[in-house]
Structure 1
């Protein structure tokens, strides 16, 4: 069983890969935040310096090892 972690600022989502169905739950605010963190990391969206200083950069970790876009390409 693998652990997928999305982090940005004080938001942290820990998901077990075999329970990924929780990504499509009924809480639309949490789902919106989850999707935005994924987009920021993998679509290389340009974020303002203000946002980076106040909430930090988004990270995606698999089993506590950070996944970077360069590793995927």
Structure 2
């Protein structure tokens, strides 16, 4: 991502069966790695599709990229 700023955007992945760890991983990926979101693949865990709520309603502090 550093070699192509603005062209490549990173997405984190997390284990949905461990929601607290998933939130921590999302925060780490956004704050430290510069990723822009979380890729959810619930069918891998036999879960239904996620609620279409905007990500900032789940982890609002990750949307402030100035910190």
Give the TM bin, normalised by the shorter chain.
under 0.3
Greater relative contact order (Cα < 8 A, sep 6+): 1
Return the structure number with greater strand share: 1
Give the TM-score normalised by the residue count of structure 1. Answer: 0.26
